[in-house]
Amino acid sequence: MKLNEGWVLTKLQDEYVAVPIDANACDFSGVVRLNESGRDIWEGLAQGLTEDAIARLIVQKYDGVDLEGALRDVREVTDKLVSEGILK
């Protein structure tokens, strides 16, 4: 999976938001909100990591998260990004 160009992730208070910065801005109204782990998923995707590799990093970073739960969360975020046209 690869993030589409023309999107930027920025911190806004206690959350992260993905907003379009090019022609996508005409077709998309609003923002996509992500928490800190969502940001980690975004950054993993930007590095070209697989969902499994991202989930493993999340397990290492956050206490009390198992691989199954992390993978489920990664897939939830990637599904959201695909549905918003941010990820292909």
Question: Domain-by-domain residue ranges, the chain?
Answer: 7-83
pTM attached to this predicted model: 0.86
**pLDDT tens figures, 15-72:** 999 888 876 555 666 778 999 999 999 999 999 999 999 999 999 999 999 999 999 9
Euclidean distance between CA atoms 20 and 71, whole angstroms: 26
Q: What DSSP letter does each residue of 41-54 carry, written as one string?
A: HHHHHHTT--HHHH
pLDDT band at 73 (very low <50, low <70, confident <90, very high): very high
Euclidean distance between CA atoms 13 and 10, whole angstroms: 10
